[in-house]
Structure 1
Amino acid sequence: MTVLIEAKGLQKTFRITKRRTGFLGGVRSIVDPEVRSVEAVRDLSLSIQQGEMVGLIGPNGAGKSTTIKMLTGILKPTAGHLQVAGLNPIQQRRSLAARIGVVFGQRTQLWWDLPLIDSLQLLRHLYRVPEIRHRENLAQLRKMLDLDEFIDTPVRQLSLGQRMRGDLAAALLHEPELLYLDEPTIGLDVIAKARIREALLALNTKRGTTLLLTTHDMDDIETLCPRMLIIDHGQKLYDGTVTAIRERFGGERTLIATLDSASQLPGNQQNVPILPDLPAGVQVLSSDGPTLVLSFGRETMPAHELVAWLGARYPLRDVTFQEPEVEDVIRRIYEEGLLLKEKAL
């Protein structure tokens, strides 16, 4: 596989100047400002192969947008090595621009007062796309993103979901091999989010486009990205799958078992069944007729052993598991500093 993004020891430090409010020699100082350094990205290394769909997540101020801006050539790294599509983003920024597409959820590259179709035509000239190729790409994007219902409408009159689809089309007209998405579904309703996600999955499947996505919406990550990068305070904390992070930090899981007969379960006054010899760490949450709900941690016992334990005592009709929501898992990681604690060990 071709490595499309290669970063080693990437660092970005901003120097922030603040005018002192105190006095120097009895006179308010305006010529001796306070200068401090803020490390937005710290020793970040990553490698992304062609065709991957990778989610980059972290709390506000974690360094996500700064990282994207370095990868696109907007910001120059303070230190470290960086190559994107075999190019140096700063030294070969113009060449790189022809090979990447960028969508910022709260900004637009469309002309505000022009109909959407006019913006898409003007972008052909900016990217120097041959007319025949542009016509074919535009036809595909109109169908993929369902643009025809509003393609002649001025951009300022579009809904947020329509504008996002227009921005996505604008970023894809020149067939970039790498697409950066910064909060592409922010503020969208459920239907608009689903359309954007479907289009991105189709794009990756049909064109093999590589996607790097930053978002606070964990449904975006679970739907689109088999791989996830977590950064906080400018440093990488995790690089792996959503499944693996859930297994490591997911906490309690839920087993929902449907029995053949609920009458076999002696209950207490709150109608919660009492199971004798319940394994340590397993808790009965509730019951509703023949349905029994248990919670258990991954460290308590494997799921199949709990099913075997229950099945040896009660006739089971059906068994299902509920994994903790990945959004809750990520919240725990941030609030409790779980990955930082692991890293310190």
Structure 2
Amino acid sequence: MTTAIEADGLGKDFVLSEGPLLRRTRRTVSAVRDIAFTVQEGEMTGVLGPNGAGKSTTMKMLIGILTPSRGRVRVTGLEPSRYRTRLARRIGVVFGQRTTLWWDLPLRDSLALTRHLYRVPAAGHARRLAELTELLDLGPFLRTPVRQLSLGQRMRGDLAAALLHDPRLLVLDEPTIGLDVVSKSAIRGFLLRLNAERGTTILLTTHDLGDLERLCRRVLVIDHGRLAFDGDLEALRATAPSPRTLVVDLAAPMPPIEVAGARCARVEGPRQWLELSANPAAVIAEVARSHEIRDLTLREPGIEDVVARLYGGGSTA
């Protein structure tokens, strides 16, 4: 397979000035340290990391905004910071909290200007715009000024602008941030279709773990400037295991349940949450023998629980 992204020993340092104006001291801070990974063409890869972990710095080096302090990086075969203009014609970039569209222009005009930036021939632009208009349902608001679009509509417009030149790689930063459930579902469905039908490589950072579970086969976790994890979601769950939870609805409020193989983590009226360390069947049988039960629910750990434990130092790896 062809490699879309290759990073080896990637690092980025920043120099900070501190102290009073006439007695400032300078110190070097390493935002990213020795990151190495590859992404093959056609992969959908998610990037996780707490705020300040080096995630955004890494992404900026990949698209050429920042020059690495050390290490080697190639994106679609190019060194990003050295060949930024050439790279721009091979990749599309969308920042969920910033728009690349012209605020006071109708969406159609913004997309027309984008065509000139990427030097897309008129015939190719018309064909691609018609395709994206159908896939992203842009028709009802193509003539609406960007400033009047809803967040979900603007995000669809930004995706269209990033894809008009048919890039090989799409880089997304928080593509579903602030969107309602319907808009999130529409964006996720479009990205899955884009990857499946056109083979577009997709790299996205997100704090919405639903994006990862629905879109990504692979996850990179960056923490304290280092690559803390690289693998699939099942391997991530194994890295920072979380217990199953048994939710017990009792007939009446009771003191915390005490049974072997479980720990009562929470009590709200007649409902109790038991974290399991033993076979659920044995715990359920014991609880049923000693308490009057109205309902039981066994909950598997979600990816949110796993990532929280990973960030919190709960990893057992």
Task: Note whether the superposition's TM-score is higher than 0.5.
Answer: yes
What's the TM-score once normalised by structure 1's chain length? 0.79
Q: Which moved more, 1:188-197 or 1:72-81?
A: 188-197
Does the Cα contact within 8 Å between 2:218 and 2:233 map onto a contact in 1? yes
Shift in CA distance, 76/285, structure 1 to aligned 2, threshold 3 Å? closer
8 Å Cα contact 2:261-2:283 kept in structure 1: no
C-alpha deviation, 1:45, in angstroms: 0.6
* Map of 1:337 onto structure 2: 313
Flag the 1:159–1:283 CA change in 2: closer, same or farther, 3 A: closer
Equivalence for 1:26: none
Matches of 1:67 and 1:7, distance apart in 2:
10
Is 1:325 aligned to residue 298 of structure 2? no
Residue of structure 1 in register with 2:7 after alignment: 7
For each residue in 1:286-331, what CA deviation from the matched residue of structure 2 results, as whole angstroms up to 9, or x when unmatched? 9xxxxxx99565xx45xxx6559989xx9xxxx9853212112211
Matches within 5 A, 1:1-345: 1-18=1-18, 20-21=19-20, 29=22, 33-254=24-245, 280-281=261-262, 297=276, 300=277, 322-334=299-311, 336-339=312-315, 342=317
- Separation (CA, whole Å) in 2 of partners of 1:256 and 1:59: 29
- Preserved contact between residue 242 and residue 305 of structure 2 (Cα < 8 Å): no
Specify whether residues 100 and 216 from structure 1 end up closer, same or farther in structure 2 by C-alpha distance, changes over 3 A only.
same
The 8 Å contact of residues 110 and 116 in structure 1, kept in 2 or not, is answered as yes
Give the Cα–Cα distance (whole angstroms) in 2 for the partners of residues 306 and 113 of structure 1: 59
Distance in 1, Cα, partners of 2:26 & 2:273: 56
* Equivalent in the alignment of 1:261: none
In 2, the alpha carbon distance for the partners of 1:294 and 1:307 equals 16
For the Cα contact (< 8 Å) 1:102–1:180, is it kept in 2? Answer: yes
- SS in structure 2 of the partner of residue 251 of structure 1: coil
Cα distance change of structure 1 residues 21 and 149 upon mapping to structure 2, 3 Å threshold? same
Q: Please state how far the C-alpha of 1:271 moved relative to its aligned partner.
A: 7.9
| Contact 1:183–1:213 (8 Å) recurs in 2 | yes
Alignment check: 8 A CA contact 1:252 1:295 kept: no
How many matched pairs? 309
Distance 1:139 1:321, change over 3 A: farther
Separation in 1, partners of 2:266, 2:51: 35
Paired AA for residue 86 in structure 2: S
Shift of 1:281: 4.6
CA distance in 1, matches of 2:213, 2:47: 12
- Please state whether the residue corresponding to 2:71 is helix, strand or coil: strand
- Identity among equivalent positions (%) equals 53
Q: Which residue pairs with 1:262 in the alignment?
A: none
Which residue identity does 2:10 align to in structure 1? L
Deviation at 1:169, TM superposition (A): 0.4
Q: Is the 8 A contact 2:242 2:309 kept in 1?
A: no
Is the CA contact (8 Å cut-off) linking 2:92 and 2:167 kept in structure 1? yes
Shift of 1:247: 3.2
> Secondary structure of 1:223's partner?
helix
Output the CA distance in 2 between the equivalents of 1:309 and 1:36: 55
Change (3 A) 1:309 1:52: same
C-alpha displacement at 1:240, in angstroms? 1.2
What TM-score comes out, normalization by structure 2 length? 0.86
CA shift, 1:17, in A, is 2.5
Q: Does the CA contact (< 8 Å) of 1:116 and 1:155 recur in 2?
A: yes
What is the SS of the residue equivalent to 1:149?
helix
Aligned-pair CA distance for 1:282: 8.1
Q: CA distance change for structure 1 residues 268 and 175 in 2, over 3 Å: closer, same or farther?
A: closer
Deviations 1:118-140, CA, capped at 9 Å, x for gaps: 11111111111122221121111
Q: Which amino acid aligns with 1:134?
A: H
Alignment check: 8 A CA contact 1:100 1:179 kept: yes
2:20 corresponds to which letter in structure 1?
A: T
Return 5+ residue gaps in structure 2 as ranges: 289-295
Deviation of 1:98 after TM superposition, in Å, equals 0.7
SS in 2 for 1:120: helix
